[in-house]
Every structure is written in C-alpha cells, then in structure tokens.
Amino acid sequence: MDNIHTLLKKHFGYNNFRLGQEEIICQIIEGRDSLGIMPTGAGKSICYQIPAMVFSGITIVISPLISLMKDQVDSLNQIGIPATFINSSMSKQDYAQAIENARLGMYKIIYIAPERLSSETFLKLLDSLEISMIAVDEAHCVSQWGHDFRPSYVEIAKIISNLKTRPVVSAFTATATQRVKEDIINLLHLLNPYVLTTGFDRPNLLFSVQSPENKDSFIFDYLKNKNLQTSGIIYCLTRKIVDSLYNNLLDLGYAVSKYHAGMSDKDREDNQHDFVYDNTNIMVATNAFGMGIDKSNVRYVIHYNMPKDLESYYQEAGRAGRDGDLAECILLFSRADIVKNKFLIEHGASSGNHSAEYSKLNDIVDYCNTDKCLRKYILEYFGEIPSFDNCSYCSNCNSEIQITDITLDAKKILSCIKRMHERFGSGLVTDVLKGSKSAKIKQMGFDNLSTYGIMSDYSKDTIRDLISYLISEGYLKTVGDKYPILMLEPISNEVLFGNKLVAIKRKIEKVTTKSDIEEKYDTDLFEVLRTLRRNIADSLNVPPFVIFSDISLKEMCCKYPTDENQFLNITGVGQNKFEKYGMDFINVIKSYLNKNNIDITKYIPKSSKPEKIDTKIISYNLYKEGKSINKIAEERNLTRSTIEGHLVKCFELGMEIDLEKEINTNYEKLICDTIKKVGTEKLRNIKDSLPYDVTYLDIKYYIAKLGL
C-alpha cells in the first residue's frame, strides 16, 4: 500500500495518516464495505478520496448539502484530483456538460445530493458509468434516531441494489450512538462491513458551560478579547434571537453575517459566502447553518441557547478547530432553554410519540448541570469508556474548584419529594421548599408539610439548580415527557437514612494556556501571509483556506521556510500546492525577513521566535527619515491603520515624534470632549459622534494625549 502514502503526500501534503485513516482506506481498496465513525476534523473525506484515486472507475459521493460539494470540489481540483458536483444549483448547460464529461471519464469523484437519486436521467447516467465506489457522507441522516434524519437517505440502498454491478459502499459520520450505528449498517445494506470507530474525542476543543445572567453581555465581553480577524459561529435557537444579536453586533462595528431559514436563498448564500471567504468573521445562525461548511479556521463556537440533544451540540460545536488548532466550544445555559426546546418538540415537524426527543433533551440538560468532566460526559454518551476522570481541558476540570457540602440541602429536597409522594415536577417542589403562598399549594395541603418553606432563604433558581444537579448525579430521575415528575433513585436512601455525603463544585474559571505554536508564531508575518492567501483565493474564486489552512500559515510563521525542501515540510503542503503557490509564499517570506532584519540562522527550534527589531520601531525609523504614512504602509505591506497605531504607540512611549502635522487640530476640543463623554471602549462610537472628516488617527492621538 505504498501507493496510498505517495498519494497522501503528493495531493494533501501530509507525511502520515491520522488515526484510523490508513486502516479503513486499505479495507475499502480491498473491496470491503466500510463504516467510519470519526470526529469532525479527523479527516473522513481523505478516507474515500484516496481510494477514489486508486480505483479504476468513478466514486460517487452522496452528501446532504450543496455548499459542502462546492467547497470539497474546489479543494480537490486545487490539489490535482479531478472532481465535480451535480446538483440543482447548476444551469442546464453546466449540467449537460458535467454529464458529458463524466461519460468521457474526466472525473474521479462526483458529488451528488441524495435527492438526485430520484432523477431518471441521473440513474441512466449511473448505469452508463464504471462506478467503483459509492461513499455516503453524514451517514447518520439515514436513521430516525439520528439528529438530522433525511427520508431521501433511506432510498440509497434501493438505488445501489438496482445498479448493474454493485460497487463498494462506504459510509462516514462524526456522531453516532450504538442504535444509530446499527441503523446505518442495516438501512444502507452494508455487507459484512469493516466498522472503524476512532473515538469521538477532539483534544483541541475546550468545552465550557456557562450560565450568565445576560447572554448578550457575555458575548460582547467575550468578543472584546478576540482578534477582529478571528472566525467564530454563534448558534441561536430561533430566528428572532439571530436577528436581534446580529443587529446588536452590527451596531458595535463587528464584521458579522447571519443565517436562518426565514431569509431568501440569495441572502443566505451571500452571507455564507462572506463568512467562508473571510469577508466577515462572525456568523450568527440557527442550526440551519453549518452542515457541510468546510471552514477550517473557526476558532470558537458559542451556543446562545442549549440545543435539543447532545448529538446536535457535538456536531455543531465540532465545526470549531477543524484545522487541529485550539478552539473553544461554549454553551450558554439557562432554564428558559429547556422550556423553548420542549415547545419546539411539541410543535415540531415530527408527530406522535416524542419520548425519544424528551429523553435526549434530558441528557443534554444533565450535561449542562454536571460538575464532572464535560469531555468525559460526551464520550460516555457516545459509548466510549474514557481512561480519565479529569481531562484538564474543559471548564469543569480547568477550574479553581471549591467543594461545598450540600448533604443537608439534598436531604431537604429528597425528603420534600418523598413527602409529596413522588407525584410532582420540579416547579411545584421548588414552590413548596421556597414556601410559596399560592392557592394551589394551600388547596393541596402542602403548606402543612414539614418541608414547606424549609429552603425559604434560597432563590427559586438556586433550588432548581440543586434539583437539576441531583438529577444529573443520579439521586433523582424524571418520569414523563412534557410534564415530568420527580422520583427518587435507590441511592437517595443512602443520603436520607445513611451517611452518604453530597458535594457540589463552585467553579472559578482559570485562564487557559496556549499551544506552542500559538506562543511562538510570528503574528506580523501571519497577517502578511493571510493577505497573500486572500489575494490568491480571490483571483481563483475559492475560499482562502483552500489555498492553505491557518495552521499551515502559522507553521510557516514559526519555521520561515525559504526553499522548496523547507516549504514541503510544512504541514498541509504537498507537491501540487507547492508548484502552484510555493514560490509566491517563499518570496514574501524572504522579503519579510529582509525588511525586518531577521537573521534566521539564529533561530533554534523549540526556542522563542527569532530575534527581530520591534515592528513599531521600524515604522518609527522610516517616519523619521521623512517618509509618509502611506509610503511606509506600502513598503512594509501593512495597512495605513497599522502604521498609524505604531506611530501613536511611539508617541505614548515618549519617543521623539511630531504627529501634529498629521492631525486635524481644528477639532481638538470637540474630539477631547467627545472622548471623555463616550469613553474609549469602541473607537467607532467616538467617530460616529464627530464630524465626518475627523479620522481615526485624530482620535487615537488625542486619546494618547489624554493618557486614556
């Protein structure tokens, strides 16, 4: 199988396969049906793309969303693998041309949507082709127990059985419980399949559950500390929340897009394009956005609301960090989210018994309430047995923890439920413990219970939180769907009548540490290479990450490759990409090293970055030579705003520099008064309050002068 290693390096730029890839590729090439359950970012697509290059015929990839097809095809064509897609977005002329090219054997891979299988014209095309493999992506869509069931997926097996020659069938998914896995095998009619589960863990993702009083404020504070170029997705449960948050972020000056089913197809397509192509950095969306968005440099995914189940959450959160670099997955939880999700279950598209949906909802509510390791909770949910209790990289494990003994409070709650004969839900139990004077409680005589008002010094939210914690830890269970009642589990007797202690953690968040590459890469060079990548991508009309991923650029900014051998050793750089773009990047790196007087012979791997002159000092010296700000920006391949920032910083440090000639001094008093009134949190707020011809440099200069 040496050939597959050659293909991996030549087309994808990797020296080694990731966990599980080589095993399943070999099984597929030997003609065995296969099912790969691999986490997002683990490289599932390579598992069918490399066999497609080995097989003599065509590989048909069934994929649920058009956007995924286009991005995958763009990426494949960039690395020298002939591919196309056939779907409803094509014109009649393009469709006819693609069909003709397929008959002529011009493609190795053709992407289609499952709905295409209902087209007689397309089925005739399949019969005329040599099909070596059919690969089913997002295979969980075939199962009604999956979180994204699609009826069209159920037809796949019938279509395959009607082909003149049955091809190899492979299926892939990132999220599948045991029941979904069995459905995939049975409903796709996989024959004695090789089943590979590499594990669901995504070690580069930091999982966090937060319960802020104000979710908008949490998000605004979070974004303040982020680089404006950082890409992130914020998921919201409803269109109304999407629109509201989008408008607020837009007013604050962020480059933001939105996406939900209430928008026109064109607006959704344009906004998705802007996000994927880095024209905007924040996407606020419902769960209608995301499946098939192959954007590798998403650094955070925030869930404004708790999703309906853990499968949905893990898939949506998994859109962060697909390049393997560190990323954050934050779930903002409130009790109102439970109510909203129950409403959506009752009024959703599915009809009949909602027990499965309520059961899944309870699982994610428990996830939000546990104080144990979040990563371990997720892995156990998907059937894994982690070897750790503490992952050291989630908000529960990565915290300064104070353990509080709540045994007495637990006894009060458990006793109250028992005295109410385990027939009521958490709302009424909370009211009794709180000592509510409602007519219902008096009518039912609960005000005569010994536990009535026994927790009156607690807020209702605190009591509900404690009840939820006891559920998540197995002391209580909920019975029923829409209006669940609380019942005691056997272990509760050990608390009520034994010596079992109950403790809860109160968490103080720690600052997470950065990876080595985050600490060491040259951020200035990174921005230069980002600009080059963007220019190339624009000229080819492809997303920037198709050229090189962020993690490839960061490695370039650590190792400063200046020849072919060095460049080919960068992760993600293959021969094909080097021939297309390598010299462009090498020339820019060489120019950067020269302009910044960086001596790479001093660079020692595993040490800090090479010594170089402070970037603002370079700008300062050029300005002192009499060069204009625009000229300096042009020479250094930086923006005017960046050079202005350098010069203002030098002024703040007391260096000899006269910026008065660059400043509109006629507005000095007005600018200073406005700064004091509006504050310095957002420069845009200051600028919007001033005459149009006041520049950002004017504002920065007077902020520095005021010492703010």
356 domain-assigned = no
Per-residue pLDDT, 278? 92
pLDDT digits (tens, 9 = 90+) for 103-149: 888 999 999 988 887 777 778 888 888 899 999 998 988 887 766 78
Asked whether residue 375 falls in the same domain as residue 422, the answer is: no
pLDDT band at residue 507 using 50, 70 and 90 as cut-offs: very low
CA–CA gap between residue 61 and residue 51 (Å, rounded): 12
Same domain for 256 and 108 = no
> Does some domain include residue 359?
no
CATH number at residue 86: 3.40.50.300
Quick one: which of 335, 278, 349, 289 has its CA closest to 316?
289
Residue 677 CB: number of other CB atoms within 10 A? 9
Q: CB burial class (10 A; 0-12, 13-18, 19+) of residue 91? A: exposed
Instruction: Indicate if the pLDDT at residue 657 is higher than 80.
Output: no
Residue pLDDT, tens place only, 29-51: 999 999 999 877 668 899 999 99
The better pLDDT of the pair 87, 428 is held by 428
Domain-located, residue 634: no
Q: How far, in Å, CA of 64 to CA of 52, rounded?
A: 19
Q: Is the pLDDT of residue 705 over 80?
A: no
Domain identity same for 442 and 326: no
Beta-strand pair 83-86/109-112: parallel
**Within a domain: residue 148?**
yes
Q: Where are the alpha helices (DSSP H) in 435-509?
A: 439-443, 460-472, 492-496
Compute the half-sphere exposure of residue 374: CA atoms within 13 Å on the CB side of its CA: 27
Q: Which domain holds residue 596?
A: 516-602
Q: What is the pLDDT of residue 67?
A: 64
Task: Clarify whether residues 378 and 494 are in a common domain.
Answer: no
Neighbours of 75 (CB within 10 A): 20
Q: How many domains does the chain have?
A: 4
Q: How far apart are CA 111 and CA 89, in angstroms?
A: 13
Question: Could you read off the pLDDT of 164-191 as tens digits, one per residue?
Answer: 889 999 999 887 778 888 999 999 999 9
> Among the listed ranges 144-153, 468-477, 577-586, which one has the minimum average pLDDT value?
144-153
Tokens standing for residue 645: 């920032």
Q: What is the pLDDT of residues 236-252, one digit of tens each?
A: 988 889 999 999 999 99
Same domain for 368 and 407, yes or no, is no
**Residue 648 domain flag:** no
**Contact yes or no for 322/41 (Cβ under 8 A):** yes
Does the residue 620 lie in any domain? no
Clarify whether residues 183 and 211 are in a common domain.
no
Question: Could you tell me how many residues make up the chain?
Answer: 708
Distances (CA, A) of 27 to 35, 47, 109, 135, 395: 10, 10, 19, 14, 39
**Cα 175–Cα 179–Cα 180 angle in degrees, nearest 5:** 40
Whether residue 468 is predicted with pLDDT greater than 80 in this model: the reply is yes
CA 556 – CA 578 distance, rounded (Å): 13
Same domain, 173 and 261: no
State both tokens at 334: 């409130």
Which residues are CB-contacts of 299 (< 8 A; sequence separation ≥ 6)?
226, 230, 231, 232, 320, 321, 325, 326, 327, 328
92: left (phi over 0), alpha (psi -120 to 50) or beta: alpha
**Are 108 and 155 within one domain?**
yes
Poorest-confidence range of 40-44, 393-397, 494-498, 696-700?
Answer: 40-44
Same domain, residue pair 268 and 327: yes
pLDDT digits (tens, 9 = 90+) for 206-242: 999 998 888 999 999 999 888 788 999 999 988 889 9
Instruction: Name the pLDDT band for 452 (thresholds 50, 70, 90).
Output: very high
Average pLDDT, the chain: 85
Task: Give dist(CA 377, CA 367) in Å, integer.
Answer: 7
Same domain, 116 and 216: no
* Pairing mode, strands 476-479 and 485-488: antiparallel
Give percent of the chain with pLDDT exceeding 90: 34
Q: Give the closest residue to 597 by CA, choosing from 622, 574, 580, 573.
A: 622
Q: What kind and span of H or E run contains 110?
A: strand 109-112
Q: Are 45 and 72 in contact (CB under 8 A)?
A: yes
pLDDT (0 to 100) of residue 53: 94
> Which CATH number do you get for residue 559?
1.10.150.80
Which of the residue ranges 90-104, 116-130, 277-291, 342-356 would you say has the lowest mean pLDDT? Answer: 342-356
Q: Looking at 455, 477, 509, which one is the last position of a domain?
A: 509
**Residues 31 and 159 reside in one and the same domain:** yes
Is 583 inside any structural domain?
yes
Confidence bin at 546 (pLDDT 50/70/90): confident
- Cα(210)–Cα(607) distance, rounded to whole angstroms? 36
Cα distances from 486 to residues 415, 436, 454, 617, 661, in angstroms, run: 12, 19, 18, 67, 74
* Tens of pLDDT, residues 351-409: 556 788 888 888 999 899 888 899 999 998 888 888 888 888 898 887 766 677 888 89
Q: Which of 482, 509, 536 is the last residue of a domain?
A: 509
Q: What angle separates helix 335-346 from helix 355-369, to the nearest 10 degrees? A: 170
pTM for this prediction: 0.67
249 plus 375 within the same structural domain: yes
Does residue 652 form part of some domain? no
Residue 283: strand pairing partners: 233, 257
Q: Give the residue from 492, 509, 526 where a domain finishes.
A: 509
Mean pLDDT of 471-498: 89
CATH code of residue 452: 1.10.10.10
pLDDT for position 350: 60
User: Higher confidence at residue 143 or residue 583?
Assistant: 583
